[in-house]
Amino acid sequence: MVFIGHQNQWDFLKRVVENDKVPQALIFAGVEGLGKKLVALEFAKLLSCEAKQKAQRDPCHECYSCLTIEQNTFPDVFLIEPKNKEIQIEQIRELQNKVGLRPHLAERKVVIVDQAEALNQQAANCFLKTLEEPRGDVIFILITSQPERLLATIRSRCSILKFYPVPQEQIIKHLAKDVSPETLREVWPLAGGRVGMLLNLLEKKNYSVFHQTIKEIRDCLDGSLTDNFLFIKKLLASENNSSLAISFLDHFILYLRNLLIAKLGLTDGGIVSGFSFKKEHSLSKISQMIKEAERMRAILISTNVSPRLILENLFINVLSN
């Protein structure tokens, strides 16, 4: 299996296939970085796999369908992702043309919409029309960390499957043969229980960048507003600064969550250990900072507001007193 955990969700998906009761549309909901897209791709393989012995209920990973779905070249599986932060109406129109035809090789076509909350209004209305005219041979999977941002009329036509962070023991067990326990202990707190992020970090093998980020976050939490504005200016000096700002916010939120848990005495500290702040950050202050950073992150990924303005605002709102 290519994803870790989510056994209940996977069992449910296998059951609906076995009983021939696959819903026409599914929402995979849960925070980012859990591996929801990997599960969706595995499900597409399960629906299209050519090795369909009853006894073997997982995709074979060897047939033409399984291999080409992995490479995103299988003609009956479509993956839609945001372009410039939005899923545009043209993408949905193009999709409608494709799903209007009969499947080429599989029994059913599978449409996976990643970050479905990024459907803009026009695209969402257009997508709704596609859902309203159901065809027996198309399955839609909408992946989202913010199901409440989807049109209620889209939500009501989908079965919702919720995804949760995978327990640490399960991940350690799964990775034990490839990754040393020391490395896992080091990287785990950085991933914050999100398998997708953990695998990303392990793949990059460059934790020094993350240690540097953690240092910067500590400096921000301890620094004056002027220091922090200078830091933002330096951080966002390069061209592609929107993704840098998102990455910074991700780590900022992660660090604060760890700080909160450590202050409550629930862990030995992990990434927040070995440092004492000059400033006092109370529990309520930390929760408020997390909320504000999450709000700023949501604005940053859904609008074209300047990343620098977003980070400056955050620091004014949460760190200026």
Q: Write the CA distances from 15 to 20, 95, 108, 155, 251, integer angstroms.
A: 8, 28, 17, 22, 38
For residue 18, the minimal CB distance to Zn ion (Å) is 16
Asked if 261 interacts with Zn ion (CB under 5 A), we say no
Q: Which DSSP state fits 22? A: -
Looking at residue 246, its amino acid is I
Chain mean position to CA 251: 14
- C-beta closer to Zn ion: residue 74 or 231: 74
Asked if 249 interacts with Zn ion (CB under 5 A), we say no
The answer to whether the beta carbons of residues 220 and 231 sit under 8 Å apart is yes
Among 46, 49, 191, 236, binds Zn ion (CB under 5 A): 49
The CA-based angle 252-195-70, given to 5 degrees, is 125
Among 39, 66, 110, 116, binds Zn ion (CB under 5 A): 66
- Beta strand spans in 122-230 (E): 138-144, 159-162
Q: Write the CA distances from 114 to 28, 29, 59, 83, 118, integer angstroms.
A: 9, 11, 21, 11, 9
Q: Nearest 5°: phi and psi at 77?
A: -120, 125
- C-beta closer to Zn ion: residue 60 or 128: 60
- C-beta closer to Zn ion: residue 54 or 205: 54
For residue 48, the minimal CB distance to Zn ion (Å) is 8
For residue 54, the minimal CB distance to Zn ion (Å) is 15
Q: Which two tokens stand for residue 28?
A: 């995979």
For residue 50, the minimal CB distance to Zn ion (Å) is 5
Asked if 158 interacts with Zn ion (CB under 5 A), we say no
- C-beta closer to Zn ion: residue 77 or 300: 77
| Candidates 50-58, 156-164, 221-229, 285-293; binding stretch for Zn ion (CB under 5 A) | 50-58
- C-beta closer to Zn ion: residue 35 or 59: 59
- C-beta closer to Zn ion: residue 51 or 225: 51
- Beta strand spans in the chain (E): 25-29, 77-80, 109-113, 138-144, 159-162
Asked if 67 interacts with Zn ion (CB under 5 A), we say no
| Candidates 2-10, 51-59, 176-184, 192-200; binding stretch for Zn ion (CB under 5 A) | 51-59
- C-beta closer to Zn ion: residue 47 or 236: 47
Contacts 24+ apart (CB under 8 A), 280-285: 281/221, 285/318
Distance, in Å, from the CA atom of 52 to the CA atom of 59, rounded to the nearest integer, reads 8
Asked if 179 interacts with Zn ion (CB under 5 A), we say no
Distance, in Å, from the CA atom of 299 to the CA atom of 222, rounded to the nearest integer, reads 25
For residue 166, the minimal CB distance to Zn ion (Å) is 25
- C-beta closer to Zn ion: residue 72 or 287: 72
| Candidates 7-15, 44-52, 96-104, 225-233; binding stretch for Zn ion (CB under 5 A) | 44-52
Looking at residue 93, its amino acid is R
- C-beta closer to Zn ion: residue 1 or 298: 1
For residue 53, the minimal CB distance to Zn ion (Å) is 11
For residue 46, the minimal CB distance to Zn ion (Å) is 9
The answer to whether the beta carbons of residues 222 and 213 sit under 8 Å apart is no
Among 1, 16, 17, 63, binds Zn ion (CB under 5 A): 63
The answer to whether the beta carbons of residues 113 and 87 sit under 8 Å apart is yes
For residue 60, the minimal CB distance to Zn ion (Å) is 4
Asked if 60 interacts with Zn ion (CB under 5 A), we say yes
Give the footprint of Zn ion on this chain (CB under 5 A): 49, 51, 59-60, 63, 66
